[in-house]
Amino acid sequence: MKKWLSITLGIVTAIGGFLDAGTIATSGEAGAKFGLGLIWAILLATVMAILLVEMVGRFTAVSQKPYAAAIREELGFRFYLFPLISEIIAEGLLLTAELGGMAIALSLVTGLSWHILFPVAVVIVFLMAWRAPFDWIENGPAIFGMLMLAFLVGVFVMGGPSQETVQTLWKPVIKPGELADYFYLVAAILGATISPYLLYFYSSGTREEGWSGKSLLLNRITAFAGMGFGSLGSITIVIMSAIVLQPQNIQASTLGEIGLTLATPFGKIGSLIFACILFVTCLGAALECVLALSYNVAQGFGWPWGENKKPVEAAHFNLILVLFLVIALLINLIGIEPLQLALFASTIIALFLPLSLLPFLIIMNNRQYLGDKINKPWLNILVLLILLIAFVVSITAIPLELLSGGG
């Protein structure tokens, strides 16, 4: 039974992909601008995330090697440096956005400026990442992340989308001059949802949990259930934004505006629920982000790592963790609003996607690692399609960012 509770690993991983500041930002803006017209992008990202998470979990469970270490061993240290550097840049920005999301959530409750509360968010993440065992990090955000279901309840309370809004599902209304915005949000949704740090975190999490070749069914169910829950959360944010914000021509340009999606059906308690959701999901995503970065560097350089080790037993791992939190503090001094930073970080992630996903084709077909658990031919075809999509997204992300003005 305890082993099956590990399904929360999928949920907390999904929080990083589907329910973090970046995805709340993209989903909120998508619904406010284009109604239900971008739900297809979330569904596409969901299928891609399920496939990638299942594969990286299967690889780690069978080979007993985390993804980052496998990239270094199979493709060499020089190649490993390319995805590592791209991850440091993209996830450093995203970590700052997640901490900013936590600070804004605290600001909504206390009335204090989020700039003042940003260091408080850093301290909270530091204490949990430094001292909490992995199952606390895994179970806490996953359980409280269920608050996301408030968006689903809100859809029913509001009576669901109007017939006119439902029609945008297959016929989005794109106003003159907004085509670049539309495709920019497609790239941002894909970048925010299939962030490579999900794979590094999930891979390391399976090792922290002690999964083996006997855990493949658990891995499959965890991938489906976790990513499915995250996808449901993202889609309900889009629907609520389409119901509440689009008719009022509110662009969802701040996280506070997105909070109106719950304040409208539930009143003041809705604002409090949104603040709690924002805090919990951004906390989970910040922990996932900083740990994924620390896992990646430590595993790539062959240093001891693990949340279940004492800090002195994994000194480099914990030093990296502290270093990235300090970097996030410094980035915050620039003063960029977290929602805009999250959108920009999603664009950068999209830009570097092929670098992080390319190794899948190689390691998932290596019998030395996987034996008879290598990818079936149809899975390799799907990986090629994912790589093709990632390549298209990567070469269009920056031009779309410039044309749309960042959404």
- pLDDT tens readout for residues 307-358: 777 878 888 988 999 999 999 999 888 888 887 787 777 777 777 888 878 8
Own/partner long-range contacts of 82-89 (Cβ < 8 Å, ≥24 apart): 82/355, 83/196, 83/352, 83/355, 83/356, 83/359, 84/296, 84/297, 84/300, 86/351, 86/352, 86/355, 86/356, 87/196, 87/197, 87/200, 87/292, 87/293, 87/296, 87/352, 87/356, 88/293, 89/348, 89/352
Share of the chain above pLDDT 70, in %: 92
Spans of all domains in the chain: 3-404
Using N-to-C axis directions, what is the helix angle for 134-144 and 268-301, rounded to 10°?
Answer: 150
Q: What was the pLDDT predicted at 180?
A: 86
Chain centroid to CA 358: 19
Cα 305 from Cα 313, distance rounded (Å): 8
Helices 268-301 and 196-208 cross at an angle (nearest 10°) of 80
Euclidean distance between CA atoms 58 and 67, whole angstroms: 11
Asked whether 228 and 19 are in contact (CB, 8 A), the reply is: no
The Cα–Cα gap between 143 and 307 comes to: 19
Instruction: Read off the pLDDT of residues 362-375 as tens digits, 9 standing for 90 and up.
Output: 888 889 988 888 88
Q: Read off the pLDDT of each residue in 132-141 and give the average, rounded to a whole number.
A: 68
Instruction: Tell which wins on pLDDT, 138 or 147.
Output: 147
| Residue 76 main-chain phi, psi, to 5 deg | 95, 155
The answer to whether the CB of 287 falls within 8 A of the CB of 129 is: yes
Q: Alpha helix (H) ranges present in 245-376?
A: 255-258, 260-266, 268-301, 315-332, 338-357, 359-363, 367-370
Multiple choice CATH, 3-404, 3.60.20.30, 1.20.1740.10, 1.20.1280.290, 3.40.1710.10? 1.20.1740.10
Any residues with CB less than 8 A from the CB of 402 and at least 6 apart, and which?
Answer: none
The residue-averaged pLDDT of 103-129 equals: 92
* pLDDT one-digit tens code per residue, 247-295: 888 887 777 888 899 999 999 899 999 999 889 889 988 998 899 999 9
State the Cα–Cα distance between residues 218 and 69, nearest whole angstrom: 23
Segment 165-190, tens digit of pLDDT? 899 998 888 888 788 888 888 888 88
Q: Is 370 in a helix, a strand, or coil?
A: helix
Which of helix, strand or coil describes residue 307? coil
Residue 116's pLDDT is 92
Show the DSSP H helices in 111-148 as ranges.
Answer: 114-131, 134-144
